[in-house]
């Protein structure tokens, strides 16, 4: 039994920790997006949903307590629909879609909401209490390296120059600004009203504003400006804030149904997930994960790179993006055509679902058939999912 995506939306991506969602909770953000997704399919009774699968890379504090179940309760106005939280770091949002599709194909469910959310504004990178295994930390310290150090290792091992990284970063901003000016993300994004309390002149005041545009892209950036930034992670290194993905806040979800439910709802599907693969690579160069994951996904799908019209490669860092592009000889004319995470942001557990929504709408705009979402994943992994527009 085939599974189909029939709706998908995302929030705008807010800059963390000072953007429009800086005081928003992840559960509120996700619930708002899901409510909109459900509202676009009025023939579906929310109580018919079998599960809500939520990707989240730091499931603790405000994002803890099985946030997936709490989001289900908040978004669907019923306690009959279950919820679960999934963590594959940067691939969490894509993993949930693959899980939903697999469960439906196996006959375990007919309707699943899948996606992810991350509000990085109030969350330290890695979480509030990191407790490495002491023996492993001595034997394999690189298993616990922060992502910036792995990006430095990739730049060194794959000979990616600082100049090439900064040029790649500039192009990401330029493409993202062009996409925003052309309104290409309008169909993706659910405008979200934020109510904020603050103190002014010893008085409690309230203001409201709407977040409906990605906050990361900068029209004023330049190679000169990027070149002046200092390395962040290593003395004498080449990874800067300008050629790295931005910490971000956001949520994105899709609605996946079985062929049986599709007929009952009498609705036209948007797309289907053709294949999904993950792969392991050395943690110290985790950024090359897509190099192993992409060929596996293509083989599963019975496709070649030339069959893909669009590729969304998550720009965790310019160094790893360029290493992947060069290793697989990816067609840059098809890659991140509307910019990537260096400009648009990377809300960790949300990103895979966010890129899926973005990809499907761009495939529709261009009347093209196959596209891929792929990313590197912390601790040495890669993930890739191939979608077919219907």
**Is omega for the bond preceding 17 within 30 degrees of 0, making it cis?**
yes
3-state secondary structure 34-52: HHHHHHCCCCCCHHHCCEE
Q: Say which of 36, 90, 173, 350 is annotated catalytic.
A: 90
Q: Is 371 helix (H, G, I), strand (E, B) or coil?
A: strand
Nearest-angstrom CA–CA distance, 222 and 171:
10
Q: Say which of 36, 173, 350, 376 is annotated catalytic.
A: 376
Nearest-angstrom CA–CA distance, 321 and 314:
8
Q: Can you give the length of the chain in residues?
A: 390
Place of tokens 């062929």: 259
**Cβ proximity of 291 and 328 under 8 Å:** yes
Nearest-angstrom CA–CA distance, 254 and 251:
11
Q: Say which of 36, 173, 346, 350 is annotated catalytic.
A: 346
**Cβ proximity of 244 and 318 under 8 Å:** yes
State the maximum Cα–Cα separation within the chain, in Å, rounded to a whole number.
65
Question: 66, 8, 34, 88: which is closest to 269 by C-alpha?
Answer: 8
Which residues fall within 8 angstroms of residue 326, CB to CB, at 6 or more apart?
Answer: 158
Nearest-angstrom CA–CA distance, 247 and 348:
8
Whether 350 sits among the annotated catalytic residues: the reply is no
Nearest-angstrom CA–CA distance, 134 and 140:
10
Strand-strand pairing, 51-55 and 82-86: parallel
Which positions are catalytic?
A: 90, 346, 376
């Amino acid at each position: 039994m085939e599974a189909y995506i029939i709706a998908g939306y995302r929030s705008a991506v807010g800059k963390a920790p000072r953007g429009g969602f800086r005081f928003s909770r992840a559960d509120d953000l996700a619930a708002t997006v899901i409510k909109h997704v459900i509202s676009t399919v009025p023939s579906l009774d929310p109580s018919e949903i079998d599960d809500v699968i939520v990707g989240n890379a730091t499931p603790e504090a405000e994002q803890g307590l099985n946030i997936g179940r709490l989001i289900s309760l908040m978004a669907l106005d019923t306690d009959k629909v279950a919820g679960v939280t999934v963590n594959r770091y940067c691939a969490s949002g894509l993993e949930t879609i693959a899980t939903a599709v697999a469960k439906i194909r196996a006959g375990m469910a007919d309707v699943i909401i899948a996606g992810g959310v991350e509000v990085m504004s109030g969350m330290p990178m890695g979480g509030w209490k990191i407790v490495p295994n002491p023996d492993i930390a001595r034997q394999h310290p690189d298993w616990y390296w922060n992502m910036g150090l792995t990006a430095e290792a990739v730049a060194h091992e794959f000979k990616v120059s600082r100049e090439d990284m900064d040029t790649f970063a500039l192009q990401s901003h330029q493409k993202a600004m062009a996409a925003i000016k052309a309104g290409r993300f309008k169909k993706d994004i659910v405008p979200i009203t934020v109510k904020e309390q603050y103190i002014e002149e010893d008085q409690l005041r309230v203001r409201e504003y709407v977040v409906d545009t990605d906050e990361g892209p900068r029209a004023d950036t330049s190679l000169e400006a990027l070149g002046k930034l200092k390395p962040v992670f290593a003395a004498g290194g080449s990874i800067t804030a300008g050629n790295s993905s931005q910490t971000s806040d956001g949520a994105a979800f899709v609605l996946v149904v079985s062929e049986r439910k599709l007929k009952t709802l009498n609705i036209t599907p948007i797309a289907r997930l053709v294949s999904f693969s993950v792969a392991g690579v050395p943690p110290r160069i985790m950024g090359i994960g897509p190099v192993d994951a992409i060929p596996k996904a293509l083989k599963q799908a019975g496709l070649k790179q030339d069959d893909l019209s669009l590729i969304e490669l998550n720009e965790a860092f310019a160094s790893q993006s360029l290493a992947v592009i060069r290793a697989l000889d990816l067609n840059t004319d098809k890659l991140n055509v509307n910019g990537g995470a260096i400009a648009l942001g990377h809300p960790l557990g949300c990103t895979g679902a966010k890129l899926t929504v973005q990809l499907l709408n761009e495939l529709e705009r261009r009347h093209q058939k196959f596209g891929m979402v792929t990313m590197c994943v912390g601790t040495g992994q890669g993930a890739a999912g191939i979608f077919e527009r219907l």
